Structure 1
């Protein structure tokens, strides 16, 4: 299709004659480091303007290929001309482009029919609850299933502050901190309470970057 998904116009049609072995062999070719050219119908910006706006105006912008990584692809099902796959991929992967590239390799063409993100980082769709389910719970039950704020930052290193350091950070002051890099860190008080995110420099100082309100 013109957009690589169901929203676009059909630009070509070919007969589909696929078997499971052929599909699995083709999918294996996409595992590992591969390059992708971002689709025109994407939020990627050119000169401050999203590419999809240019696409709607009929303007084609030259895009540079990007290196992404496909950790794994599993064939889930084949139903006539529709195949369902599960993809474990790096950030920045365009699944719509992957679908088109797989179709091109198979020789029949393809577009993306549907997309469900089942996991990002440590957060899984299978662990999710609806707003309605949460509203139906008692407050104690709700508190048991809701994740703490710092669960979003598990990829960052963490440090425990002394009481004096915590007070300084709360006041927006920097503290002594030796770091080998300037990557953000999670900050915790001496009692283990999440304080916020700190930004170290390479001159032995740590600055508060984002703090949690009402720190005890």
Structure 2
């Protein structure tokens, strides 16, 4: 006698941000799909990718929060990078073929001088093993075919680069950098400055804009919890605008903003604000203040706002 299949629980409209501690070996999209299934969410996306070899902070957006995911893509990032000194690889990380091995011989003064050269605004040549496109093809696809193409250097900013530890051939660095920085390239450049070569052996993202690793939850934790506990990890969608000024509107002006109508304001100019209605949880979306006007940008729909105010419904 065949067992009766368990009924599939329906997907639901969830609006918020979940900060995931992405595990080693899982792509960002695979991690997103796992969490999406666990939360039974209708719509989800992430704010930029972490390589399978990287771990750490991966903000996942659900429902209305996906409208603001680009903001986190543009944000500065922070990492703990682990380098393997003495080896240069084809990919700049531990997965690549070792191309060259050299002796490790530098003084603390030489290390500090090399780190100083890599701080501030620097030029980086993107690695061939990256997702950048060349004539419609990702560079890593060309690299797998044994091809190398000319890449233009990019200007990035290394806000902070500090030595955390060094034990023989292993070095750990704390990095805070602008978007688009390749930590693999940074490791390779440091290795060349030190004369011994280096590649990235591990990478952990600790911060993205105003979001921190300490706020994260793991997939294992989510799998062990019931539905109500899982939903408790869902943070408000305005979290991605946490470093923007807050503007609270009365019911009349909130309705006009949601209709896309500019409103006169005496507030100081701001490139981006997070707008709220009269209720504490009534997040309306993002706007900017210019020329004495509050100008709507990305807004929640009335249905999204209503769902957000009602709160997520548990399916357990």
How do residues 2-151 of structure 1 correspond to structure 2 at under 5 angstroms? 2-133=90-221, 136=225, 143=232, 146-151=234-239
User: Which of 305, 308, 316 is residue 214 of structure 1 equivalent to?
Assistant: 305
Pairwise CA distance, 1:99: 0.5
Q: Distance in 2 between matches of 1:141 and 1:61?
A: 46
2: CA distance, partners of 1:127 / 1:208: 28
TM-score, normalised via structure 2 length: 0.58
Secondary structure of the 2:201 match is: coil
- TM-score of the superposition, structure 1-length normalised? 0.82
Measured against aligned partners, the alpha-carbon deviations of 1:55-74 in whole angstroms (never above 9, x if no partner) come to: 22222222111111112222
Alpha-carbon deviation of 1:4? 0.8
Contact 2:287–2:294 (8 Å) recurs in 1? no
- The structure that is strand-richer by fraction is 2
Counterparts in 2 of 1:194 and 1:86: CA distance versus 1, 3 Å: same
- Supply the distance in 2 between the matched residues of 1:78 and 1:131 (Cα, whole angstroms): 31
Q: Secondary structure at 1:129's aligned position in 2? A: coil
Unaligned runs of 5+ in 2: 1-88, 310-316
For the pair 1:174 / 2:265, whether they are aligned, the reply is no
- Cα shift readout 1:184-203 (whole Å, capped 9, x = no counterpart): 53221023421122467879
Query: Which of 190, 193, 198 is 2:278 aligned to?
Result: 190
Distance 1:58 1:182 in 2: 49
Q: Which structure exhibits the higher relative contact order, with contacts defined as CA atoms closer than 8 Å and separated by 6 or more residues? A: 2
Structure 1: runs of 5 or more not aligned:
none
Preserved CA contact (<8 Å) 1:174 1:208:
no
CA distance in 2, matches of 1:164, 1:214: 15
SS of residue in 2 equivalent to 1:24: helix
Shift of 1:27: 1.4
What SS does the corresponding residue of 2:202 show, helix, strand or coil? coil
